[in-house]
Amino acid sequence: MTLFDQFAEYLAAGGHGIMLPLLAIAFALWYAIGARWSLLRRGSNRNVRVLLSRYERGAGGKVDGVLDAAVVRGLSLRGQRPRDLRRVLDDAFAGHRRAVRRHRVLIGTLVAIAPLLGLLGTVNGMIVTFDSLADMALFTQGGGIAAGISTALYTTQMGLAVAIPGYLAKGVLDRRQAQIEMDLAQLRDILVATSRPVPAPVAPSTD
């Protein structure tokens, strides 16, 4: 039996009404995980203080990641000496915070839906099974009890096979997001603490 035949049998056993949405969820889930993974590139592995010092000395190297870009942007803004640097940095880093949170809700939703959809397939399979028992159709053309049990087991298995790896990947990505957000907050605090005070404007003389 070829791989295609096995896949077709798998679909037939699970029922197209449940298996195809589960496959679509699996595709969307791993696409979102891949996109979120690429957005959560921190850049350099150095801590914030070391990274900031290197960019201040012009030895930062190529900008490759969220934190690298934030350091370069933060140094540029600090050099402009705005009156409220903290607020300016919060506005500047807002785009980075939005980027590292992108697809998070979608992934969580798909991970939650997959086992529920598998459970729906289980319920459908049990309905087929009990219908067959009621008709005493152990060996009907449609498969009877055996088909119902297969539908129940295959869809449950597929739902869990989609949800469990997705849940694990979501945990890893959420930890990366939390670390980047913490680094951005630390970077903002360091830049504010090391900024030179802006001289107060001189009031015009009334003489």
pLDDT in tens, 13-31: 556 677 888 889 999 999 9
Residue given tokens 């319920």 in the structure block:
123
Please determine, for residue 61, whether its predicted confidence score (pLDDT) is greater than 90.
no
Tell me the C-alpha distance between 111 and 165, whole Å. Answer: 9
pLDDT for res 136: 63
Point out the least confidently predicted range of 56-60, 139-143, 162-166: 139-143
pLDDT for res 126: 79
pLDDT for res 179: 93
Tell me the C-alpha distance between 92 and 84, whole Å. Answer: 12
Q: Mean per-residue pLDDT for 62-75?
A: 89
Q: Mean per-residue pLDDT for 51-56?
A: 88
* Between 151 and 199, residue with greater pLDDT: 151
Please determine, for residue 125, whether its predicted confidence score (pLDDT) is greater than 80.
no
Tell me the C-alpha distance between 179 and 45, whole Å. Answer: 12
Q: Mean per-residue pLDDT for 95-115?
A: 93
pLDDT for res 149: 72
Residue given tokens 């008709």 in the structure block:
135
Tell me the C-alpha distance between 122 and 152, whole Å. Answer: 4
Instruction: Tell me the pLDDT of the chain averaged across its residues.
Output: 82
Confidence band, pLDDT 50/70/90 cuts, at residue 155: confident
Please give the backbone phi and psi of residue 2, each rounded to the nearest 5 degrees, phi first. -75, 170
